[in-house]
Amino acid sequence: MSQQSTEHGTAGVPDFPDLPEATVARLPEYLRALHAIADSGVDVVSSEDLAAQAGVNSAKLRKDLSYLRSNGTRGVGYDIAQLTSKIEHVLGLHQHRGVALVGVGNLGHALAGYDGFGSRGFHIAALFDADPRRVGERINGMVVHHVDHLAAVVLKEQIAIAVIATPAHAAQKVADALVGCGVTSILNFAPCVLSVPDNVDVRKVDLAIELQILSFHEHRKASLTALPGGRAAAAGNQEAVGS
Amino acid sequence: MSQQSTEHGTAGVPDFPDLPEATVARLPEYLRALHAIADSGVDVVSSEDLAAQAGVNSAKLRKDLSYLRSNGTRGVGYDIAQLTSKIEHVLGLHQHRGVALVGVGNLGHALAGYDGFGSRGFHIAALFDADPRRVGERINGMVVHHVDHLAAVVLKEQIAIAVIATPAHAAQKVADALVGCGVTSILNFAPCVLSVPDNVDVRKVDLAIELQILSFHEHRKASLTALPGGRAAAAGNQEAVGS
């Protein structure tokens, strides 16, 4: 959990709500759902419809949005434009953010070429790799820099968010270099734990861990169905638990 | 949360512990940490050292492991081989699982070529795409099948876990087809919510959402530092919250 989600947390910061980490993680889902609904030409949405589109239950959605002081209008629903703007503001998406990507192997290459970031508030602003054979390569029109030039480029481009897609053994050194030149948020795809100072936020995505969690559920369901008449009890997760 | 983590949950299933979803999500981290420590030639590990290597606090680790009835030996610690075997058993990793991958665009291609799954209990057993130009292509020695042949291959290979790496508009149809031929766990990389029956577990990884959550923290930290003397209050997440 984030350290700001204590009882007093960010209370007193003008215009900045105190949010549990789980709520923060759901706001992007609501945003995606709002965009999808707006695309269908509608201006107002009920909490039930928005919740269904976002894949959460509607009581949870209403609770989450009440933290933003967005309670909707009883019997009418939420104004889509207003709520979209509010969530975008809280997520800091009014400012299009440049992201540094370190490691352009298979996965990094795919991330560098992913064109879904632009519409969601981000662009890959700089690419780095330690392999001299990759340096100078162009991906999506951007040139790959040597990781030794990290500080110069990150400072020049005023980058605060970085993605690490290096092998595990290289990730901590890269994280240290990123933190050293002012990066304060890291998305880590390397299968290892990073040590960072308190003011740096790290999220990680480990694909094998996601599969191992699903394996647990397969094992659990198999154990339940092995019981006499157990099949009915083997209910899975209706709601996606990832992110 | 998983539906099994209710008060009674899976109680009564022989040898199958009742685990909160958050504990399940941390078990793979402990496993990775145990392997790393074992590689250094050690047989026993304290909860503090294991917790540090896994990036969680040690009280949380002891609580998690107590669900597995692994309490370690006071003043000595955990037997690494025993604990590794116990976690692998609970995660169902004693059985090497084949995974189907649908969608071999940039990201799917990277996932198909990722060689980190093998050591962690999985192998990509079948590849599918809807694009006729991709069908027949070989990735890592495996041929890409047309998605129309999904059922035949999944049934033949007895696959229960699938990864969806298609565009969002195609993902629900693919999920329906997977569920139709007996897949009960899905890892979804498409930026959309999937509707699946109760007995199917879905986890999702949305890269733009991960960045939006980091953007929130950037915005929060900027708001805090904008306050008089606010810099000290702008502590981030020490513990990674992702996965």
- The secondary structure of chain A, three-state, reads CCCCCCCCCCCCCCCCCCCCHHHHHHHHHHHHHHHHHHHCCCCEECHHHHHHHHCCCHHHHHHHHHHCCCCCECCCEEEHHHHHHHHHHHCCCCCCEEEEEECCCHHHHHHHHCCCCHHHCEEEEEEEECCCCCCCCEECCEEEEEHHHHHHHHHHHCCCEEEECCCHHHHHHHHHHHHHCCCCEEEECCCCCCCCCCCCEEEECCHHHHHHHHHHHHHHHHHHHCCCCCHHHCCCCCCCCCC
Same fold, A21-90 and A97-207: no
Is B54 touching A (CB cutoff 8 A)?
A: yes
Higher pLDDT, B192 or B164: B164
Give residue A101's pLDDT band: very low, low, confident or very high (50, 70, 90). Answer: very high
Among B residues 115-134, those touching chain A with beta carbons less than 8 Å apart = 116-117, 120-122
Smallest Cα distance from A209 to chain B, Å: 6
Give residue A2's pLDDT band: very low, low, confident or very high (50, 70, 90). Answer: very low
Is the pLDDT at B79 greater than 90, yes or no?
A: yes
Whole-prediction pTM value? 0.83
Report, as an integer, the average pLDDT of B147-159.
95
Which value does ipTM take for this structure? 0.84
Is A185 touching B (CB cutoff 8 A)?
A: yes
CATH of domain B21-90: 1.10.10.10
Is the pLDDT at A235 greater than 50, yes or no?
A: no
Is B107 touching A (CB cutoff 8 A)?
A: yes
Q: What is the pLDDT of residue B227?
A: 63
Fold of B97-207: Rossmann fold (3.40.50)
Domain boundaries, chain A: 21-90, 97-207
